[in-house]
Amino acid sequence: MRPRVLALSLALCATAAQADEGMWMPSQLPDIARQLRAAGFKGDPAGLAELTRAPMNAVVKVGGATGSFVSGDGLVLTNHHVAFGVIQYNAKPERDLIRDGYVAADRAAELPANPDFRVLVTTGFDKVTDRILKDARGKRGRAYFDAVDGATKTLVAECEREAGYRCSVANMYYGSDFYLIRQLELRDIRLVYAPPDSIGNYGGEIDNFVWPRHSGDFTLLRAYVGKDGKPADYSPDNVPYQPPGHLQIAVEPVREGDYAMLAGYPGTTYRHRMASEFVQQIQWQLPSRVALYGDMIKTIDAAAAGSPEAQVSYAAQVKGFKNTLKRAQGELDGLRRSDAARVRGEDEKAMLAWLDKQPDARAIRADIDAAQKVLDAGAATRERDQLLTAIRTQPQLLNAALTVQRLAHERGKPDAQRETGYQQRDETLIVGRLKQVQRRYAPQVEKALLLELLLQYKALPKSQRVDEYERVFAGEDRAALQRTLDALYAGTGFGEEAVRLRAMQDDAAKLAGSGDSLLKAAAALLPAVLRMDEEGKAREGELLRLRPAYMRALIAYRKSQGRAVYPDANSTLRVSFGAVSSMDPRDGVRYRPLTTVQGIVEKHTGADPFDAPQALRDAIAKGDFGSTADPELKTQPVDFLTNLDTTGGNSGSPVLDANGRLIGLNFDSNWEAVSASWMFDPRYKRAIHVDMRYLRWLLAKVYPAPHLLKEMQLPAE
Amino acid sequence: MRPRVLALSLALCATAAQADEGMWMPSQLPDIARQLRAAGFKGDPAGLAELTRAPMNAVVKVGGATGSFVSGDGLVLTNHHVAFGVIQYNAKPERDLIRDGYVAADRAAELPANPDFRVLVTTGFDKVTDRILKDARGKRGRAYFDAVDGATKTLVAECEREAGYRCSVANMYYGSDFYLIRQLELRDIRLVYAPPDSIGNYGGEIDNFVWPRHSGDFTLLRAYVGKDGKPADYSPDNVPYQPPGHLQIAVEPVREGDYAMLAGYPGTTYRHRMASEFVQQIQWQLPSRVALYGDMIKTIDAAAAGSPEAQVSYAAQVKGFKNTLKRAQGELDGLRRSDAARVRGEDEKAMLAWLDKQPDARAIRADIDAAQKVLDAGAATRERDQLLTAIRTQPQLLNAALTVQRLAHERGKPDAQRETGYQQRDETLIVGRLKQVQRRYAPQVEKALLLELLLQYKALPKSQRVDEYERVFAGEDRAALQRTLDALYAGTGFGEEAVRLRAMQDDAAKLAGSGDSLLKAAAALLPAVLRMDEEGKAREGELLRLRPAYMRALIAYRKSQGRAVYPDANSTLRVSFGAVSSMDPRDGVRYRPLTTVQGIVEKHTGADPFDAPQALRDAIAKGDFGSTADPELKTQPVDFLTNLDTTGGNSGSPVLDANGRLIGLNFDSNWEAVSASWMFDPRYKRAIHVDMRYLRWLLAKVYPAPHLLKEMQLPAE
């Protein structure tokens, strides 16, 4: 008993020391080498900064998420949910890969992914701030925005001249720095190993965001290239890609307090937003989103109550609304629990007080104050803007008419200058959306939804009204608006798919002659939509110009405290470090950091999503865990918890131990951490990973793939 | 950090050693002295056996539960929910003691309890097996039962000749041993200190059976006696009772792994029932109870759907059904989780195999086999008996008519020979029940309920039908039975309170002349009810005669394993011992053994039952915890968890530390332990206690009562 407890004691001590936030650019890691070592990292921090050296050269972008090379022959490890499209693409009625999983017996049996599936290997990451900002300097607002946008497009086009590469420009510290990112684009990806959905997605929606968790959310893919070693479309003649480096899966156990680090492509965070933006998010944005989506759900439910067809038509939209509402509520609860507005406010106040004492404070302070004014101007019409956005995007038919009018408008420009989403390459997508309307629309529900939104709009102060909307949606009370909407929807043929698709082909002149009431309404609204778009871009440009002052102040202030600042997440490669960690979600309850196969049995009901496959249950009952069992728990571990800093996009991120060996595969966060996109609260922020010992056990004993274990240089059992 | 973790390590080690079941008679404790000492008890086990010595002489019976003396002046500590009637009795619109709590400023301000409230001090516990069984020996069935019953009544009457005492005979080991229990009956009890309901019952029904828990479920009462020191009815001249001993509340902290013991009056357990009874409970009784109560709830809900009045009338009955159903389901889940049927079955099989090898096995084995036959005979009609019991007890009006007829029948006998519940002293209660029908009845609902139950009865094999029921409830299908019930309820005046109460006064002859259809139906059913009662008592008598053989075998078998056997709980004084203990309710989750005031704040919503009083929230925010704070948690503890063996009736039991000092007040179990009445599973059985440091803090800082702290020799803060 004694040794176990002593191990635990070290674990507890370590946890307390290591809990820290940060989504660091690899290039920053040498600067925080001391912290890395203090947390337990045993490698060379400088080595982590090199994108072309292991381990960073093994971390790749897969879909909108992350993956990593785990063999010298291009084997890629990512989440089951990240590769789900690939599995689905290969599933057939007689070969249900979703239900049964898949083990390719050899390379010939590896199944090609959908042709648009990509694995991106980052090969370049260079600061290009001067080139991006050269033309922008001295400009303001929309002009500043356009200058940055233009320079970005030029750099990307230049970079992509070499075939097989995709390039992009990343904006760090809100416009302070820009980096040109160059990625090798692997286009022939194949499915190698997937567990059944009832393992990969065990617990489904019910367990989403939940700890304790028991999912085997992983899949193995393989990247192929042409015989010349260069990216190529699928061909049976292609050969496995030889990555410059790959990760070695660990065989050592994972214990509470162990050092852990994670690399991946987190999407978006708002940690360095200004204090007033925190207040707005907590006091207005999230509560008003909860209220608006709650109202829309209630309205649709009531309007569809009598009609099973209407209920089916709106099921997906309502489900989406419920998700949005749930997330907003979770984020709000979390930010309140962390007292985020006060914490961020006090921090900013201290920063500004410090700044005012610095020699070069005045110009910086002026920019910060100007940025605040831009934010205030946007906030003045925030309620109206949220409502008008809902009015033009949520009612399906009205949105279709607006899309058709906007497309005709954009077609009047050269393709390169068209608004994103309305370029030639987007037209197939638009056709799809216009077709889909058929399955997602019922006239009485759309009118009820529009009526509810318009009533809220009409309740705003008169000064906030928008002329075009006033003309199209005449009437101040329910009865008058109802008459307006009845007339609008009685005079349109847009309920017919053929009518919508035909209208999409028409040019602006022809559309102008149309007698369709909804098309006419959309034409009348379009100038307002374009004008508000323009205003938004001008604000965006101003903030791009002004925010760097705020970031400069923050970075200098943190430096005075001896601390580094990571840029907010923006889908570029980042590293976070911390420890395997328990969590106390509420008084009297502790979440333990490892789950075991016993939990699969406890949760099993036989019904989806708790329908563990017979083969898995038999193997658990047999208890033959071999080298993959946990030496302390004396059973097979499944998932584990760390305090690593993650957000959406980190799905599939490899979790490494102190020696850089792969111990886990990130796939989710706990519900209490939903608010971490704004504030990292070490008490509640945790990340959920598949324990690599579970993967090894499944490959060794449950759905055997001895050839893959061998390829990954892992023990056979 | 180090010392804390080392303390934790000792705690973990201790926990593993101490988890054990047992509701021991104090007289057994010297026999298990070695286990007590191994678990950490530092006192003299022999001292625990003496009912007239401390600490046992301080443990008292309060209502149907437990309490203990905590001062030399008769101060009694028990649960808020145990003393709730006393608080309610003293509550007035202008002095809402339930909402606000109560602190008696001095003895004159102590408020008299309802006159029927009692505190019982056990003063004698003597084995009387020979006297009880003398006349029974050689008899069987009903005669055996009557002989035991007669001897019991004689002994009790003899014992109660001394004024101020209440006596009873306790049956230990299922008829193996009988003990005469003599208890001093204190009748003048006063309310001294009660926290507000929102502290005493914080979390209400929602937190019932829940850990982590945050209730201050305690109340202080004081027992008074006449100036002569003898029990007396309330009088302002009475003086505080000087108990022979009292408990000292501890000032030391409580830590995981600490030794803990508890004394109290647990109600009923079934741990030593035969294996076939475990099988019946798990495979038939609990599932069929779940099904029956589920059906009754559905039937009542459907029948009352259109009528808000009917819904109100049946609200209490439906709530009771839901509680019964929930408990049955919880017990079933628990027994399945513990694999109780298999465990008990294998144990019994091993015991019988051992028994068959003993010299005196044959006679014992014959009795055991005979007992099994009696159980089998009862099981043959168990479904019918459950349905007929529901039919005569659940429909309010039919039950009223049956009660009236039974009362008239019993009145034909001398009072002492009347059936329990139908004696002269019970008539006031019967009047109350007959009056209550008015508020709990709607004809369409009662008919629907009866119809549902009768349809289930009619679905039984014909051989199980009962003539009297067949005649009264004619018809085989829904339509025919509906006609029968329509006629039955059309022809009765029993819906009128006056009619019911008048009928209750009538003798059997007068009732026989009544034309009321329901009274006539009840008269026709009565012979069947009496006959089945008689059969039940005969079976009970046989089991009373035969079960001791099973217990003798079990005790001898356990002795051969070096283990003692405690008798199943029967509302007599018992002691259990174990440790302060965490619990792992499911994979990946650990319940920590102590909760803190932070949990009160986390749960607070402002709405009942999570409506913590402002004074409490202010005191928590202030953080002024003084000597009552936990030195490791650095905050104020509230409740704690042990692995002590408890059941209903243990409410208010004092929890003592290794030195016999009072550390906690038992008030609930966790939901996972509902099945412990049949099987103690050390993985899931926990008991929930108020930490005495929470009581001390409330008395010191929140609702101050410095005079009571002084009386209990506790620090002022």
**pLDDT mean over B16-26:** 71
Residue A463 neighbours by CB distance under 10 Å: 8
**B255: DSSP letter:** -
Residue B2: pLDDT above 60? Answer: no
SS (H, E, C) B630-656: CCCCCCCEEEEEECCCCCCCCCCCEEE
In tens, the pLDDT along B55-78 reads: 999 999 998 899 999 999 999 999
CA distance B630 to B696: 13
Quote the pLDDT of residue B429: 87
Model confidence over A649-673: pLDDT tens digits? 999 999 999 999 999 999 999 988 8
Read off the pLDDT band of B672 (50, 70, 90). confident
For residue B651, indicate whether it is catalytic.
yes
Asked whether residue B425 carries a pLDDT value surpassing 90, the answer given is no
Tell me the two tokens of residue A215. 């999912």
Instruction: Select from A108, A99, A110, A113 the least CA-distant residue to A195.
Output: A99
The token pair that represents B630 in the structure block: 């936990």
Question: In this predicted structure, what is the pLDDT of residue A14?
Answer: 32
What distance in Å separates the CA atoms of residue B301 and residue B322, rounded to the nearest whole number?
12
Quick one: what percent of chain A has pLDDT higher than 90? Answer: 88
Residue B602 touches chain A, beta carbons under 8 Å? yes
B124 near B223, Cβ under 8 Å? no
Kindly state the percentage of chain A with pLDDT values over 70. 97
* Model confidence, pTM: 0.84
pLDDT at A16 over 80: no
Query: In B, residues 153-212, which contact A (CB 8 Å cutoff)?
Result: 211-212
Nearest CB to A587: which of B16, B586, B602? B602
Q: How confident is the model at residue B240 (pLDDT cuts 50, 70, 90)?
A: very high
**What is the rounded CA–CA span in Å between residue A93 and residue B142?**
69
Secondary structure of residue A273 in the 3-state scheme: coil
Q: For residue A28, give both structure tokens.
A: 């920053």
Cβ contact, residue pair A589, B587, below 8 Å: no
C-alpha Rg value of chain B to the nearest Å = 27
For residue A540, the model assigns a pLDDT of: 95
Q: Do A5 and B16 touch (CB under 8 A)?
A: no
- Give the C-alpha separation, B385 to B391, whole Å: 10
Give the mean model confidence (pLDDT) for residues B12-24.
56
Q: A344 and chain B: CB distance < 8 Å anywhere?
A: no
Query: Rounded mean pLDDT of B10-37?
Result: 72
Of chain A, the end-to-end C-alpha distance in Å amounts to 28
- Can you tell me the mean pLDDT for A236-241? 98
What are the pLDDT digits (tens) for B332-356? 999 999 999 999 999 999 999 999 9
Q: What is the mean pLDDT of residues B475-503?
A: 95
Q: CA nearest B67: which of B77, B82, B80, B57? A: B77
Is residue B310 a contact partner of residue B304, using CB atoms and an 8 Å limit? yes
Give the pLDDT confidence score for residue A417 in this predicted structure.
83
DSSP H or E segment with residue A150: helix A141-159
Q: Per the structure block, which two tokens stand in for B684?
A: 């899931």
Instruction: Mutate one of A333, A587, A602, A670 to test the B interface: name it (highest B CB count within 10 A).
Output: A587
B696 contacts B709 by C-beta, under 8 angstroms: yes
pLDDT surpasses 80 at A15: no
Question: Does the distance separating the beta carbons of B586 and A595 come in below 8 Å?
Answer: no
pLDDT at B9 over 70: no
Query: Are B140 and B540 a contacting pair, CB within 8 Å?
Result: no
Catalytic (active-site) positions of A: 81, 217, 651
Residue A5, pLDDT > 60, answer no
Per-residue pLDDT tens digits for B168-189: 999 999 999 999 999 999 999 9
User: Cβ-count burial of B308 within 10 angstroms (0-12 exposed, 13-18 middle, 19+ buried)?
Assistant: exposed
A599 interface with B at CB cutoff 8 Å: yes
User: Given an 8 Å threshold on Cβ–Cβ distance, is A590 in contact with B589?
Assistant: yes
Residue B598: its chain A contacts at CB < 8 A? 587
CB A13 to CB B5 under 8 A? Answer: yes
Average pLDDT of chain A to the nearest whole number: 93
Q: Strand order of the sheet with strand A589-591?
A: A583-586, A589-591, B589-591, B583-586
* Inter-residue long-range contacts of B509-513, CB under 8 Å, 24+ positions, other chains counted: B511/B404, B511/B405, B511/B408
Report pLDDT for B421: 87
Tell me the H-state helices in B281-426. Answer: 286-304, 308-337, 340-356, 361-380, 382-393, 396-410
Paired sense of beta strands A219-225 and A239-240, if any = antiparallel
User: Hey, is B25 helix, strand or coil?
Assistant: coil
CB contact set of B701 (below 8 Å; sequence gap of 6+): B619, B624, B625, B626, B717
Residue pair A189/A222 in contact (Cβ under 8 Å)? The answer is yes
Whether the pLDDT of residue A17 is over 60: the answer is no
User: Facing residues of A171 across strands?
Assistant: A178
Report the pLDDT value the prediction gives residue A64, as an integer from 0 to 100.
82
Which residue is associated with the tokens 């852990």?
Answer: A260
User: How far is it, in rounded angstroms, from Cα A417 to Cα A410?
Assistant: 8
Predicted local confidence at residue A415, as pLDDT: 85
**How near does any CA of chain B get to the CA of A329, in Å?**
16
Residue B702 has pLDDT above 70, yes or no: yes
CA distances A320 to A64, A292, A323, A390, B464, Å, are 19, 13, 5, 14, 57
Other CB atoms within 10 A of residue B358 CB: 14
Q: Which SS3 state, helix, strand or coil, does residue B459 take?
A: coil
Interface test with A, best of B6, B18, B213, B587 (most A CBs within 10 A): B587
Average pLDDT rounded to a whole number, residues B378-382: 94
Distance from chain centroid for Cα A206: 20
pLDDT for residue A19 is more than 90: no
Report pLDDT for A37.
95
Judge contact between A144 and A136, C-beta under 8 A: yes
pLDDT for B13 equals 31
Q: Which residue has the higher pLDDT, B595 or B12?
A: B595
Distance of CA B389 to the CA centre of its chain: 22
Tell me the torsion sign for CA atoms B269, B275, B276, B281. Answer: positive
Question: For A340-367, what is each residue's pLDDT tens digit?
Answer: 999 999 999 999 999 999 998 999 999 9
The CA-atom distances, in angstroms, between A706 and each of A17, B331, B505 are 40, 45, 87
Put simply, the answer to whether B587 touches A214 (Cβ < 8 Å) is yes
Q: Tell me how crowded residue A367 is: count the other CB atoms within 10 A of its CB.
A: 18
Average pLDDT on B273-291 reads 97
Q: Select from B655, B676, B670 the least CA-distant residue to B258.
A: B655
CB contacts under 8 A, A 211-270 vs B, are 211-214
**ipTM summary value:** 0.83
pLDDT bucket at B306, cuts 50 / 70 / 90: confident
- Can you give the pLDDT at residue A156? 93
Q: Which of the four pLDDT bands, split at 50, 70 and 90, describes residue B442? A: very high
Identify the three-state secondary structure at position B465.
coil
Distances (CA, A) of B124 to A157, A362, B183: 98, 90, 7
Q: What is the pLDDT of residue A2?
A: 33
Catalytic residue among B20, B68, B73, B81: B81
Q: What does the pLDDT look like over B605-633, one tens digit per residue?
A: 999 999 999 999 999 999 999 999 999 99
Q: Number of H helices and number of E strands within chain B?
A: 27, 20
Q: pLDDT class for B426, splitting at 50, 70, 90?
A: confident
Q: Can you tell me the distance from the alpha carbon of A481 to that of A486, in angstroms, rounded to the nearest whole number?
A: 8
CA B678, B690, B117: angle at the middle one, nearest 5?
80
Tell me if residue A223 falls in helix, strand or coil: strand
Fill in the DSSP letter of residue A677.
Answer: G
Q: Count CB pairs under 8 A between chains A and B.
A: 79
Region of residue B611 (left: phi > 0; alpha: psi -120 to 50; beta: else): beta
Mean pLDDT of chain B: 93
Residue pLDDT, tens place only, A369-396: 999 999 999 999 999 999 999 999 999 9
Q: What is the pLDDT of residue A493?
A: 94
Nearest Cβ partner of B12 from A5, A590, A591? A5
Cα B330 to Cα B349, B656, B670, B672: the distances in Å are 27, 29, 11, 7
Is residue A438 pLDDT above 90, yes or no? Answer: no
Give strand ranges (E) for B544-608. 574-579, 583-586, 589-591, 594-596
* Length of chain B (residues): 717
Q: Look at residues B73, B39, B9 and name the one whose alpha carbon lies nearest to residue B707.
A: B73
Q: How confident is the model at residue B11 (pLDDT cuts 50, 70, 90)?
A: very low
Asked if B591 and A589 come within 8 Å (Cβ–Cβ), the reply is: yes
% of chain B exceeding 90 in pLDDT: 88
Inter-chain CB proximity B592 and A588 less than 8 Å:
yes
Position B6 scores a pLDDT of: 32
The answer to whether A509 faces chain B, any CB pair under 8 Å, is: no
